[in-house]
A and B are shown apart, each in its own frame.
Chain A
Amino acid sequence: MNDFRSTWPDYDPGRYFCELTRTRADAGPVPKWLIERLARIGLPALRARASAAETELIDLGVTFTVYSDATAIDRILPFDCIPRVLTAKEWELLEAACIQRVTALNLFLGDIYGPGHIVRDGVIPAELVYGNANYRPEMKDFPVPHGTYVHVCGIDIIRDEHGDFRVLEDNARTPSGVSYVIENRHLMLRTFPDLMAGIRLKPVDDYGRRLRAAMSEIAPGDQEDPQVVLLSPGIYNSAYFEHVFLAREMGVPLVVGSDLVVDDDRVYMRTITGLRRVHTIYRRLNDDFLDPEVFRPESMLGVPGLIRAWKAGNVAIANAVGTGVADDKAVYAYMPRIIKYYLQQEPLIQNVQTNICREAEGLAYTLENLDKLVTKPVGESGGYGITIGPRATREELAVARASIMADPAQWISQPMIGLSVAPTLAEDGIGPRHLDLRPFIVTGKESWVLPGGLTRVAMKRGSLIVNSSQGGGSKDTWVLADDLTEVSP
């Protein structure tokens, strides 16, 4: 245990794992320095700088848009200036686990849109795959370059009371948040150079180059310099800032649907000199909206004929269509088995223990322990239909029991996890706040993981909800370099 108590006598992480004060041999002197340096800056100065940093985010328009009724408000993601620290060893595990998971996700997608071995071998129920709303029959028997379906993946990882990492969710469609990872680092470098002095971190500014390289690797044909574009729904999308950020970091045009046109199964963009061929589209548009000829006919955001051009092999689309079947809650429960099936490996980072109610054993356990478990319907997202056993009334538990028994296949249950905490600047001083981690994995021919990832933090005391729409903020995520011997205070 670091001797943080002399500096922060009131800081008490309780039974939760603290990402800063819990001793880890390979963290070197960094936690101690951080605590000392924060104390030297002092609370008033810390607050002043934090507020200046937030003003800067507003001035720079580093915002996401929240829509309510007829008004749209640009909000910043609240930024907490005390970084979250990951050691080199922790990162080694996280990195390997992320690559393992993305590899399995891609093999799974290639299989279910191809021969379907995993279903025939009885590892996963057929209806869970082929009856899934996110399964796209259009993708059947359509091979993708390098077998990569999920080019950009965000995996939500939490840490339990023992400090063990657990995967909470896979995001294999159009995961967002990576821009904050890089912006947060830049903001820290500008605002808190004295906090970071002498500490060697793995850099985060290679993301744009890596992403563009992956997009070039999947381009059709053998162009020396394929034309990559980023397809955005436009300025009214809540993640538009991130689209701009990524287009700039990649150095490619940001296009909207009306900029693109398909002619003779080839995709072109409308430039001042006329039509110009496009080879790879990094799209930040859901499957549904991509091509009104194939999906939603009323979509104004997409490009008519895009899927035709794709199937003709004349354009690459990232992420591929139909990846939603792999990050579904019901399929998530099978991920440990999916990893074993394709890779003959144990998952390097386990799922949160998940009881599958469509299986007799899982159902029995769930019903017996309803008051200790979190129950979730598989088809919903955004927290709908969830019952938190330990916090539920007797009536609520009865309702949950009835729902599960009526249709067990629609339910999973998980134990309640005490997310890890980290020191966070709050109104009443520096206190422990719960957080998670979303690393980003880019895959073309091979996978690469951006060091660190997005740390989301619940700014409210005791809250376990890190979502930006519900009062969550973010922190700079430090991955310490392997060799800390050169650091000096």
Chain B
Amino acid sequence: MSQMRFDPVLLARDAEGLFWMARYLERVENLARLIDVTQSFESPGFETDAWFGLIRINADEKNFAERGFSPDADHVKRFYLLDKGNPTSVPGNLEDARTNARTLRPLMSTEMWRQINMFHRFVSHITPEDLEGDALSRLCTKLKDGVQAHTGITEGTLYRDQGWYFYELGRLVERADQTTRMLDIKYTAMLPRDGEAKRVAELTQWNAILRGAASYHAFKRCTSASFSAEDVVHFLLRDPSSPRSVLLCIRRAESHLDDLRRIYGLSRADESIEVAEYLRALLLEKSIGHILAMGLHDYLDIVQIHIQKLAAAIGRGFFRDWRPEDPLTVMASVPDQSQSQSQSQGPAETVA
């Protein structure tokens, strides 16, 4: 008789670790994308505005100033690519991802651990020269490659029990959040021009954003020759097939939560499913024209708040037991909506 049992145990701490490891790595990829986009639609004379946009999008103003940086293109690059003490930097995120990976090592394949280990070493050896001129774009490519190698190895080797679902949820929640930030950068970095010049400049920016979200070609295939801002926003927010669209991420998250409830009998998914349903409605209920007229930035802020609520609901449902005091999971009230949402931080160390 078979000795197999369909009864895998998943520690709450490990579920949270998987969720956050995926988020940290997804952040690294998105940071690389944002930096690449900023670089490629940098306009002479407006470099500082463009680069400081990154700081604003990530609500990192305070952190940036406290770490002794000043609003300057070079400083922003260093803040995100070299500053190991900045938790929102590429090395900072990778440090947190690897620390989580260490705690999760018993659940991960050797291939996954090895790649994170090597990627971590690569990132900790980034030099100021890597940030200069054309080297920066190559660096961004390598960073994207690193995360995508991780994603691929995970797809091919991570055992698909409940743990895999939490890993996926982390990645989807983070990606949805990052796409809203990517879209928001358009509004922060808007250049003050008029008429035809403005139209051309905008076009360049929209193209850059689409490229940043790996959506350029798919978008071209799906729209007519004369596209509008509305089409781009629609594509990034609501396209049902683009892997980085907010709607696709939320739908998949909802389906994973549903699987957890259905296959594993986890009724604790109920609250998260409700938030995901609300978020989906929020994404679909109003026309894009209406959203743009009301102000895209404010709308994206509301979406971001609900993405954070989704993460909090997942935390309350599944991780709370071992971290009852966690501010993330007890967050109940909606914060001030006029500010860009800062990025929440999960555990990088799970040992007291």
Chain A interface residues toward B at CB < 8 A? 59-61, 225, 227, 233-236, 240, 244, 247-248, 253-259, 269-276, 300-301
B5 interface contact, C-beta 8 A: yes
3 interchain residue pairs of minimum CB distance: A234-B351, A300-B352, A244-B105
A234-B350, A258-B13 are known contacts; what are 11 more A-B pairs with Cβ within 8 Å?
A: A59-B114, A59-B118, A60-B110, A60-B113, A235-B349, A235-B351, A254-B106, A270-B322, A272-B15, A273-B265, A301-B351
Q: Quick one: which of A60, A240, A254 contacts B114, CB cutoff 8 A? A: A60
- What are some 23 contacts across the A-B interface (CB < 8 A)? A59-B118, A61-B114, A227-B9, A234-B103, A235-B99, A235-B102, A235-B103, A236-B351, A248-B106, A253-B9, A253-B106, A258-B350, A258-B352, A259-B322, A270-B321, A271-B10, A272-B11, A272-B166, A272-B268, A273-B266, A274-B321, A300-B352, A301-B352
The residue among B103, B113, B351 with the most chain A CB atoms within 10 A of its own CB is B351
Do B11 and A271 touch across chains, with their CB atoms under 8 A apart? yes
Q: Which residues on A sit within 8 Å (CB–CB) of B106?
A: 244, 247-248, 253-254
Do A256 and B350 touch across chains, with their CB atoms under 8 A apart? yes
For chain B, give the interface size range. Answer: 20 to 34
Q: A225-B5, A235-B103, A235-B351 are in contact. Are A255 and B11 (CB under 8 A)?
A: yes
Chain B interface residues toward A at CB < 8 A? 5, 9-15, 99, 102-103, 105-106, 110, 113-114, 117-118, 162, 166, 264-266, 268, 318-319, 321-322, 349-352
Q: Which residues on B sit within 8 Å (CB–CB) of A255?
A: 11
Do A240 and B102 touch across chains, with their CB atoms under 8 A apart? yes
A227, B11: Cα distance in complex, Å: 13
Q: Which residues on B sit within 8 Å (CB–CB) of A270?
A: 11-13, 321-322
Q: Which residues on A sit within 8 Å (CB–CB) of B319?
A: 272
Q: Which residues on B sit within 8 Å (CB–CB) of A244?
A: 105-106
A271, B110: Cα distance in complex, Å: 24
Do B103 and A272 touch across chains, with their CB atoms under 8 A apart? no
The distance from the CB of A17 to the nearest CB of chain B, in whole angstroms, is 38
Do A272 and B10 touch across chains, with their CB atoms under 8 A apart? yes
The distance from the CB of A162 to the nearest CB of chain B, in whole angstroms, is 43
The distance from the CB of A145 to the nearest CB of chain B, in whole angstroms, is 23
Q: Which residues on B sit within 8 Å (CB–CB) of A274?
A: 321
Do B12 and A59 touch across chains, with their CB atoms under 8 A apart? no
A253, B10: Cα distance in complex, Å: 8
Do B350 and A276 touch across chains, with their CB atoms under 8 A apart? no
Q: Which residues on B sit within 8 Å (CB–CB) of A247?
A: 106
The residue among A227, A235, A269, A301 with the most chain B CB atoms within 10 A of its own CB is A235
The distance from the CB of B165 to the nearest CB of chain A, in whole angstroms, is 10
Q: Which residues on A sit within 8 Å (CB–CB) of B14?
A: 253
A248, B166: Cα distance in complex, Å: 20
Q: Which residues on A sit within 8 Å (CB–CB) of B15?
A: 272
Q: A270-B321, A273-B266 are in contact. Are A259 and B105 (CB under 8 A)?
A: no
Q: Quick one: which of B166, B266, B351 contacts A256, CB cutoff 8 A? A: B351
Q: Which residues on A sit within 8 Å (CB–CB) of B99?
A: 235
A270, B318: Cα distance in complex, Å: 10
The distance from the CB of A480 to the nearest CB of chain B, in whole angstroms, is 29
In the complex, which residue of chain A has the Cβ closest to the Cβ of B98?
A61
In the complex, which residue of chain A has the Cβ closest to the Cβ of B10?
A272
A301, B5: Cα distance in complex, Å: 31
Do B9 and A269 touch across chains, with their CB atoms under 8 A apart? yes
The distance from the CB of A158 to the nearest CB of chain B, in whole angstroms, is 34
Do B113 and A61 touch across chains, with their CB atoms under 8 A apart? yes
In the complex, which residue of chain A has the Cβ closest to the Cβ of B349?
A235
Do B117 and A60 touch across chains, with their CB atoms under 8 A apart? yes
The residue among B11, B103, B110 with the most chain A CB atoms within 10 A of its own CB is B11
In the complex, which residue of chain B has the Cβ closest to the Cβ of A235?
B102
Q: Which residues on A sit within 8 Å (CB–CB) of B350?
A: 234-235, 256, 258
A259, B13: Cα distance in complex, Å: 7
In the complex, which residue of chain A has the Cβ closest to the Cβ of B352?
A300
In the complex, which residue of chain A has the Cβ closest to the Cβ of B165?
A272
Q: Which residues on A sit within 8 Å (CB–CB) of B268?
A: 272-273
Q: Which residues on A sit within 8 Å (CB–CB) of B105?
A: 61, 244, 248
Q: Quick one: which of A235, A236, A259, A301 contacts B11, CB cutoff 8 A? A: A259
The distance from the CB of B143 to the nearest CB of chain A, in whole angstroms, is 19
In the complex, which residue of chain B has the Cβ closest to the Cβ of A240?
B102
Q: Which residues on A sit within 8 Å (CB–CB) of B265?
A: 273
A234, B106: Cα distance in complex, Å: 12
The residue among A259, A272, A274, A300 with the most chain B CB atoms within 10 A of its own CB is A272
Q: Which residues on B sit within 8 Å (CB–CB) of A227?
A: 9
A233, B266: Cα distance in complex, Å: 30
A274, B317: Cα distance in complex, Å: 10
A233, B349: Cα distance in complex, Å: 12
The distance from the CB of B97 to the nearest CB of chain A, in whole angstroms, is 13
The residue among A60, A247, A271, A276 with the most chain B CB atoms within 10 A of its own CB is A271
The distance from the CB of B14 to the nearest CB of chain A, in whole angstroms, is 8
In the complex, which residue of chain B has the Cβ closest to the Cβ of A243?
B106
A270, B268: Cα distance in complex, Å: 14
A247, B106: Cα distance in complex, Å: 7
The distance from the CB of A60 to the nearest CB of chain B, in whole angstroms, is 6
Q: A235-B102, A270-B12 are in contact. Are A61 and B117 (CB under 8 A)?
A: yes
A60, B318: Cα distance in complex, Å: 31
Q: A59-B118, A272-B10, A272-B162 are in contact. Are A257 and B349 (CB under 8 A)?
A: no
The distance from the CB of B319 to the nearest CB of chain A, in whole angstroms, is 8
Q: Which residues on A sit within 8 Å (CB–CB) of B264?
A: 273
In the complex, which residue of chain B has the Cβ closest to the Cβ of A248?
B106
Do A269 and B11 touch across chains, with their CB atoms under 8 A apart? yes
In the complex, which residue of chain B has the Cβ closest to the Cβ of A230?
B106
Q: Which residues on A sit within 8 Å (CB–CB) of B162?
A: 272
Q: Quick one: which of B12, B103, B351 contacts A233, CB cutoff 8 A? A: B351
Q: Which residues on A sit within 8 Å (CB–CB) of B110?
A: 60
A257, B99: Cα distance in complex, Å: 18
In the complex, which residue of chain A has the Cβ closest to the Cβ of B323?
A258
A248, B107: Cα distance in complex, Å: 8
A244, B14: Cα distance in complex, Å: 13
Q: Which residues on B sit within 8 Å (CB–CB) of A234?
A: 103, 350-351
The distance from the CB of A189 to the nearest CB of chain B, in whole angstroms, is 15
In the complex, which residue of chain A has the Cβ closest to the Cβ of B13?
A259
Q: Which residues on B sit within 8 Å (CB–CB) of A225?
A: 5
